[in-house]
Structure 1
Amino acid sequence: MGVQRLVAALVTALLAGCGPATAATVDPAPPAPRHAPQRTYAVGVRQFVVDPGGPRPLPVTVWYPVEPTTPATPAAPSGPPTAPATTSAGPVVRPGAPVAAGRFPVVIYSHGLRSLPELHAPLTTRWAATGFVVAAPTFPRTNLRARDFTRVDVRNQPADGWRLIRHLVRLTTRPDDPLAGHLDVTRIAAAGHSAGGFTTAGMFTSGHSTRLRSGIVIAAGGVAGSFAGPVAPLLFVHGGADPIVPESVGRAGYARALGPAAFLSLPGQGHGEYLTPGRPGFAQVLATTTDFLRWTLYDDPAALHRLPTDAALSGVTTLTTRALPR
C-alpha cells in the first residue's frame, strides 16, 4: 500500500473514533500570570521510559532550557528572544546538562507514521531554546523502528499523550529527578505532525484537563470527539498541495475548533518540507508556532499581536484567524 493510501485509511479510521484520551488527574487551580523569557537558552536533552514494565512502554525524549556556556544578551523587552547559537540542525544540544533556573511550560510533541522524535528536532529544539520543555514520546507501534507497525494504533496515542502528562505531573514531586521543580504542569500544549497531528487533536476531547491549554496541529485535522471543550486556542499548519493529508482535512478541523483558532497555510507545499530549516516557509512556521506557544502558555500579549507579522511572506504563507483576542 502506498503512503498516500496508507494515510487515507488512517484518516478514515481516526474520523470514526479514538481511544480514551482524557487525563485522570485532578485539574489544578488556574495558573498565575507568567512572564515570557526575554532571552534564549542553550538546550539540554534526556530520555526516559514511561511504564517500562507495562503493556505499552513509552520512550520519551525531552529537550529543555539550560544555561548557555557564555552569557546571553537579553532581547529587547518589546520583541521575541533573539536566535540562539545554532548549527544548521538547530541549537547546540548538551545531553544531560543541568536544567536552567526557573519553571517552564511543557509541550507534548507527537511524531507521525514511521517517524521518531529526533527527526523533529529542528523545530522542537528551537522551541526549547525560547523557554519550553518539549517532551516527545516514541509511540510503540507507529514509530520508524516499530517491529509490529500498525497504523490504526494511532487511535491509542492520545491516551499515551495523557499518560505522559500524568507522568510529568508525578515527576514534579520527585526531588531526585533533574526536572523536578522546573516543569510548569499547569501550562501544557500538545503539538504534532501528520499522524501526530491527529494524535494531538485526539487529546482535546470533551472534558479534557485544563492543564492542556493549547494545541498545534500540523498537516492533520480533527478526529471524532475532538475540540469539544474546554475551549483551548488551536493553531493549524498545512501545506496547500499536501498529497498525503489534503489541506481540506486541516481546514475542516479549523472550522470545527471552538474558540480562538488560526490556520497557517503554505500554498503549493506538501506534507512537511516547511519543517526543514532553509526551506521556504520554515522561518514563518517557526516564528508563528513559537509566538503561539508564548501567547497561550506564558500569556504574552505581545506574542499574540506578532502572529500576523510572523506568518507574513507573500507567495509562501497565508494566515487565517478566528476569535483571537485583540
Structure 2
Amino acid sequence: MSRRRTPALIAAALLTLSLVGCSSDAARAPRSVPTAPPKATTPAPRVPAGHAPTKAFAVGVRQLTLNRGGDRPLPVTVWYPAGGTAGGPPERSAPAATGRFPVVMFSHGLGARPEDYQLLLSRWAAAGFVVAAPKFPHTGKGGDGNVLDVLNQPADVSYALTQVLTLDTRAGDPLRGRLDPDRVAAAGHSAGGVTTIGLFTAGRDDRLDAGVVFAGTALGVGTAFAGAAAPQLFVHGEADEVVDYAAGKAAYDAVPWPKAMLSLPKGDHGQALLADGKALRVVSDTTVEFLRWTLYGDAAAKRRLPAEATRGNLATLDDHL
C-alpha cells in the first residue's frame, strides 16, 4: 500500500469493503465454493518432498502486457532466477538460470505498484522462485482507487497465473522450460492480502499450494477457506495503523490448514516490506523458508523457519505448520 495514502482514507475504504461483503463481483469468481470451511486434510504441502536450491541466483526482471476480458489491463512484472553472479540488482531481460522453478503470484496494496516491493520480491527470486506481480487497473498507482474492485482481483490473479504458466511451453520465450506449474503460491500485501485470501476462499484457485498474507484481512472475501489444504503464512505488524492487527489475526484464526503467523510487535502497516533493514531481513528470510517448504517440499526449510522468524527478537511466531 502506498505510504502516500492517509491511513484514515484507506481504513474508510476497507470499512466500505466490509459492508458490501461478498458482492456480485465476488459471485463471479471462477470456482464454486462450499458454504463451510473444510477440515485440514494433510499435515504437509501437496508437493513431493524435495530440496530447494542451496545457492543464491542472480535476478532477472521482465514485463508482460496482459488484459483480462479486453477492459482490465494487467501489466505484470516478473522477477526470476537468472544466470550470472548473485548479489547485484535485478537485470532487465537477463538470461534465465537453468532449472525449473516454482511460481509465486504477488498482489500489491492500494495505490501501490509491483516495483514498490522489489526488495522483497527479488530476494524470493534469488532463492529460486519466479515471482509474477500484476498491477491492478483500479487499485494500482494511477488508478481511480476504487477499493471495491479488490473483489475482482482474485480472478485477475488467476488469469495472470494462467498466462504466466503458458510461457513455460511457448516457443522462443526466455522462460520456456523454466516454470513448474505444479508448484504455485499466492502472496499479497494489504488490499493485495485481501486478494490473496480471496484466492483461497470465494475465488479459490485450485492450482495454489500455499499463501502468504501481509497485513491482510478477510473483509469482502470471507473466511470460507476451500479446497485442498494449502499452508498459510500471515505476517502482520502489531502497530499496524491501517489494518488492525486483530483483523488480520481473526482471518488467520479461521484458516483450517497448516499455518503460522509472524507478528512484529513494533511493525506498522508495511514499512518492513518496503525499506531495507533488520525487519525486512527477518520477513524475507522467514517467507523464503516457508516457500521452500511449501513449494519445494524441503523439510529442512520448515525446521529452520522458527529460528529465522525469531532472529534478533524482532518478531514472534505462532507456529501450527
Cα distance in structure 1, aligned partners of 2:232 and 2:182: 17
Tell me the equivalent position of 2:42.
none
Aligned length: 298
Shift of residue 313, structure 1, vs aligned partner: 3.7
Tell me the equivalent position of 1:37.
53
Residue identity matched to 1:7 = A
Tell me the equivalent position of 2:161.
165
Q: Secondary structure at the match of 1:144?
A: coil
Does the alignment pair 1:97 with 2:94?
yes
Shift of residue 166, structure 1, vs aligned partner: 1.4
Residue identity matched to 1:49 = T
Q: Secondary structure at the match of 1:228?
A: coil
Tell me the equivalent position of 2:35.
none
Quickly say closer, same or farther: Cα 1:11–1:160, change in 2 above 3 A: farther
Does the alignment pair 1:126 with 2:123?
yes
Residue identity matched to 2:11 = V
Q: Secondary structure at the match of 1:115?
A: coil
TM-score w.r.t. length of structure 1: 0.85
In structure 2, runs of 5+ residues without a counterpart are 33-45
Contact 1:21–1:203 (CA under 8 A) maintained in structure 2: no
What are the equivalent positions in structure 2 for 1:163-312 lying under 5 Å apart?
Answer: 163-205=159-201, 208-222=204-218, 223-312=221-310
Shift of residue 2, structure 1, vs aligned partner: 4.5
Does the alignment pair 1:50 with 2:66?
yes
Residue identity matched to 2:185 = A
Quickly say closer, same or farther: Cα 1:177–1:309, change in 2 above 3 A: same
Q: Secondary structure at the match of 1:172?
A: helix
TM-score w.r.t. length of structure 2: 0.86
Cα distance in structure 2, aligned partners of 1:274 and 1:218: 10
Shift of residue 22, structure 1, vs aligned partner: 3.8
Quickly say closer, same or farther: Cα 1:278–1:209, change in 2 above 3 A: closer
Shift of residue 291, structure 1, vs aligned partner: 0.3
Shift of residue 310, structure 1, vs aligned partner: 0.5
Shift of residue 226, structure 1, vs aligned partner: 4.6
Quickly say closer, same or farther: Cα 1:207–1:269, change in 2 above 3 A: closer
Contact 2:236–2:248 (CA under 8 A) maintained in structure 1: yes
Tell me the equivalent position of 2:14.
10
Residue identity matched to 2:270 = G
Cα distance in structure 2, aligned partners of 1:312 and 1:171: 38
Q: What's the CA shift string for 1:248-287, capped at 9, x where partnerless?
A: 0110011000110000000022101112444342211111
Contact 2:47–2:294 (CA under 8 A) maintained in structure 1: no
Q: What's the CA shift string for 1:39-74, capped at 9, x where partnerless?
A: 1110001101123771112100000001114xxxxx
Which is bigger in relative contact order (C-alpha 8 A, separation at least 6)? 2
85, 102, 117: which one aligns with 2:87: 85
- Compare the two structures and name the one with the higher helix fraction: 2
Tell me the equivalent position of 1:136.
133
Contact 1:202–1:226 (CA under 8 A) maintained in structure 2: no
Contact 2:68–2:159 (CA under 8 A) maintained in structure 1: no
Q: Secondary structure at the match of 1:212?
A: coil
Shift of residue 13, structure 1, vs aligned partner: 1.4
Residue identity matched to 2:76 = V
Cα distance in structure 1, aligned partners of 2:54 and 2:169: 28
In structure 1, runs of 5+ residues without a counterpart are 25-29, 70-83, 87-91
